[in-house]
Structure 1
Amino acid sequence: MSLKNLGIKPPQVLLPKKNVDLTKWAVVACDQYTSQPEYWAEVENLVGEEPSTLKLVFPEVYLEEAGAAQRVANINDTMKKYLDQKQLMEAGKGFIYIDRKTAHTKSRKGLLITIDLEQYDFNPGAKTLIRATEGTVLDRLPPRIRIRENAPIEVPHVMLLIDDPEKSVIEPLALQTDKMEKVYDFDLMMNGGHIEGYRVADPNMEEAILDAFTKLAKAEAFASKYGVGPEKDVLLFAAGDGNHSLATAKSVWENIKGGLAGEDFDNHPARYAMVEVVNVHDQGLTFEPIHRIVFNVNGKELLQDIVQYCARNNSEAYYQEFSDQREQGEKAKELTAIGGHHVIPYICGTIRGLLVVQNPKYNLAVATLQSALNDISKNKEALKIDYIHGEDVLSSLASQEGAIGFYLEPMDKHDLFKTVILDGVLPRKTFSMGEAEEKRFYLECRKITKE
């Protein structure tokens, strides 16, 4: 199977010129710390006037502030300036092997590639080689589209997963770094850890990567692995992080491609998107829960609304309050052991409790909670839902007046592919690949416009 049929090819990467401080250059994904403006204020202070990807992206913490159109224009202008002033230089064509160290893991291995957006579909029921793992919220795409449709370069934070239990694609590269060109090696800001990158230039190494991907994509092996029939189309890549950024790239390409034909269609740089691929079996990859917090509400009234929503959907729900966290935890463990229902701990100011849903409509507690919150928010415009990494952060935010936080359990990462194959996309923000500071940092760039 060719690289084209696999939907991948080696990227032509742009990296900052030698005198740029890479620690100030690389910043975490824009959809992190969305309820913590102090994080982004500290990043801005750290970066100052230095070249940085902070000036090439739109942190979502600022989405609701005035001046969004000007911020988008500034982003596109800065991209052009960095190219014109040679702040970004070609680092050679080829896959890049990535080794990321964080406060939580000694090593998480990845491979930087470009994927063919013709092989990707984010819609429910997709049968393409590359698919979303969570539902795409179309309302989240316009700000990203406004940036990308006028952007000369892309700066990715997308991470795709492969299900490679034999560790045949990425892991062998860890033993061959002496045969590759090291293209970066530095500490990431804000407790982000350390990152190293090595360009794969040897044709034999590239061929070995291709062969390994080809074996993963064979229909017979796919059917045997997941116990499915031949009617199930092969899923090679599942979007783990950056679902909406990848959907943005797809949307922009769909708008461009109608006027193209022949080689212009086949080779247009916007047809591709640069991503990092990680093996779901990598020991350095963990799935963390993404908790929910709701602002601008009376906590008890919201709980009552959830109970009523469940009743309308043929489920029974109730909530209990407890005097302390220990009592809450013991009761949650007791109810969970019984099974047959969802048990969702919550915190509202100084009050701790449990939301219990019996005979739930959905298999996952996150789906039950998210469907209720989505429905309730339709009639309460002031209500704001946010998605939080870390129990300590959730507890702190939920202690504020007019807020309630819900704790969720992590999903087993080994269930991801089979769940998506059999059940389709998961609810939005079902899982997180690591803690917030472990997310992919913006670092490498790639041109997405014709010369």
Structure 2
Amino acid sequence: MADISSFRGYRYNKAVVGDLDRVVTQPYDVIDDKLRDEYYERNEYNVVRIIKGKTKDMDNPNDNQYTRAAEYWNKWIEERALIREAGPAIYPYHQEYSVEGRTYVRKGLVALVSLDEKTGKVRAHEKTLSGPKADRLKLMKATEANDGQIFMLYDDPQNRINNMLDEDMYGVDPVMEVSDDLGAKHRLYRLSRPSLIMDIGEILQDFELFIADGHHRYETALNYMDYCKRRNWKPMNAESFDHRMMTLVNMHDPGLTILPTHRVVHSLDGFDPASFLAKAADDFEISEYNDRAALYDALSEAGGAGGSAFGFGADQLSGYRLLTLKDPALLDRIVAGEHTDTWRRLDVTVLHAALLDRLLGISAEKLEAYSNVRYVRGRDEALDMVGKNGNQAAFLVNPTRMDQVRDVALAGERMPQKSTDFFPKLLTGMVMMKMKIDKSMGLALYEAEE
């Protein structure tokens, strides 16, 4: 079950910071050094200074990107750049965006969710890495805050939650409205009626939650809760370490979009596309297309029919190819370990096991290390990269379906690398939460004991 609470969020004060478009960012894990520099230049109050601050040569345990993040929090509150809400609320969060000429609106709800596993299990579908979790834990220890969102899904086929929210939101203006660099419009609303919050909470108690995006942030929240409990710290209210700010989205929302992440292969010794295709022909039907539009249509059609198919373009290869798996039972023979049929039939599983690993020697370890493979969102971008900077071939995939995400998570399995791309991302800086922690009975522990 999902146990939610309202909270007094911190939001940017337009009168102090100016253009709100220039203070929000994409999630920390998609911000590279170049984008971070751009965010730094946009506005002195840009939230990147908190979530992914720059390092300095003279950094030390007492002065580093994490301690500076805490200083920014305090400074911005003092300057009233960040203002805490007068009363508790929940925050509907709508994102209007376009994909392939169609416009969608994804509806989410920002609230605090209990981390107590007794209230229900959160389902995950991605593997996590120790490095990002250690980084996020250092930030949380320093700031004692929730800055970025965790994107959660719940299964509400009757759309009861959104219907209730829509009714209460009639005639209500957003408290924050921004546009991101990809053209999506983000609108945050504020609802505070206690009976509405209670009714929504009662319905959500019947639902399990599935992590769409933010696996590292979720596990970090659990680790931080353990860190606090070992010190005998106590939560002063729901705005504390035993709750985490999350955005909840109905997996049946018509505005929910999962984009594919294509693979571009590079730096393989002796790679020959003709030889590769000859080997692939044993297990894949291979069709040739002269233009991209025809390839894209064929790829989508194959996915809609339930088959596993991949677009292929390579350096020194005329035209494009569609590779369609002949017999799904192939995966039963070549995929090691105990896995469900749903996991074995994922397109990314087929691509990784039957083509990249088996025929090109790109193992799962190399994929996780980003060796020989680059991950690209756009189809045209992937194909345009071929023949440049050592890129030898592009493999185009269909998007993972929402029912596959759900079924893999319910089975307790983790998807292969880069299986899902929920679009658009949830912006950081729309609303944030500062923890209230009672440390009066705390125990003194050394970091070495952690």
TM range (shorter): 0.7 to 0.9
State the Cα distance separating 1:40 from its structure 2 match.
5.2
What letter matches 2:129 in structure 1? V
The CA deviation string for residues 280-330 of structure 1, in whole angstroms up to 9 with x for no partner, is: 11111112112233454458279989999x9xxxxx767979684459839
Matched, 1:406 2:377: no
What residue in structure 1 maps to residue 189 of structure 2? Answer: 198
Pick from 114, 117, 140: which aligns with 1:116? Answer: 114
Q: TM-score, normalised on structure 2?
A: 0.75
The 1:14/1:382 distance shift into structure 2, 3 A limit, reads closer
Report the identity percentage. 17
* Mapped partners of 1:331, 1:177: distance in 2: 39
What residue in structure 1 maps to residue 313 of structure 2? Answer: 347
Matched, 1:9 2:19: no
Matched, 1:280 2:251: yes
- 1:201 partner SS: coil
Moved more, 381-390 or 239-248: 381-390
The 1:319/1:274 distance shift into structure 2, 3 A limit, reads same
What residue in structure 2 maps to residue 50 of structure 1? Answer: 44
State the Cα distance separating 1:412 from its structure 2 match.
2.3
Pick from 415, 427, 433: which aligns with 1:446? Answer: 433
* Mapped partners of 1:68, 1:303: distance in 2: 52
Alignment of 1:16-31 (within 5 A): 16-19=12-15, 20=17, 21-31=19-29
What residue in structure 1 maps to residue 92 of structure 2? Answer: 97
Pick from 361, 366, 376: which aligns with 1:388? Answer: 376
What residue in structure 1 maps to residue 348 of structure 2? Answer: 366
State the Cα distance separating 1:190 from its structure 2 match.
1.2
Count of residue correspondences = 405
* Mapped partners of 2:251, 2:414: distance in 1: 17
State the Cα distance separating 1:266 from its structure 2 match.
8.0
Alignment of 1:255-294 (within 5 A): 255-260=227-232, 263-264=234-235, 269-294=240-265
State the Cα distance separating 1:160 from its structure 2 match.
0.6
Matched, 1:243 2:215: yes
The CA deviation string for residues 55-79 of structure 1, in whole angstroms up to 9 with x for no partner, is: 22229xx99x999984445434323
The 1:142/1:347 distance shift into structure 2, 3 A limit, reads farther
- 1:133 partner SS: coil
Moved more, 384-393 or 10-19: 384-393
Alignment of 1:163-182 (within 5 A): 163-178=155-170, 182=173
- 1:150 partner SS: helix
State the Cα distance separating 1:140 from its structure 2 match.
3.4
What residue in structure 2 maps to residue 134 of structure 1? Answer: 126
The 1:416/1:186 distance shift into structure 2, 3 A limit, reads same
The CA deviation string for residues 13-47 of structure 1, in whole angstroms up to 9 with x for no partner, is: 1111231221111111223376xx665555444x1
State the Cα distance separating 1:10 from its structure 2 match.
1.4
* Mapped partners of 2:375, 2:3: distance in 1: 32
Q: Unmatched 5+ residue regions in structure 2? A: 336-343, 439-450
* Mapped partners of 2:202, 2:186: distance in 1: 27
8 Å Cα contact 2:310/2:397 also seen in 1: yes
8 Å Cα contact 2:236/2:437 also seen in 1: no
* Mapped partners of 1:172, 1:163: distance in 2: 16
The CA deviation string for residues 356-383 of structure 1, in whole angstroms up to 9 with x for no partner, is: 6651232112123346567364599782
- 1:169 partner SS: helix
8 Å Cα contact 2:69/2:142 also seen in 1: no
Matched, 1:78 2:69: no
What letter matches 1:279 in structure 2? N
What letter matches 1:245 in structure 2? R
The 1:306/1:423 distance shift into structure 2, 3 A limit, reads farther
Which structure 1 residue ranges, 4+ long, deviate > 6 Å from structure 2?
A: 65-69, 301-308, 318-321, 379-382
What residue in structure 2 maps to residue 153 of structure 1? Answer: 145
The 1:341/1:24 distance shift into structure 2, 3 A limit, reads closer
Pick from 213, 230, 233: which aligns with 2:204? Answer: 213
The 1:89/1:369 distance shift into structure 2, 3 A limit, reads same
- 2:418 partner SS: coil
* Mapped partners of 1:39, 1:285: distance in 2: 26
The 1:376/1:98 distance shift into structure 2, 3 A limit, reads closer
The 1:100/1:380 distance shift into structure 2, 3 A limit, reads closer
* Mapped partners of 1:97, 1:417: distance in 2: 23
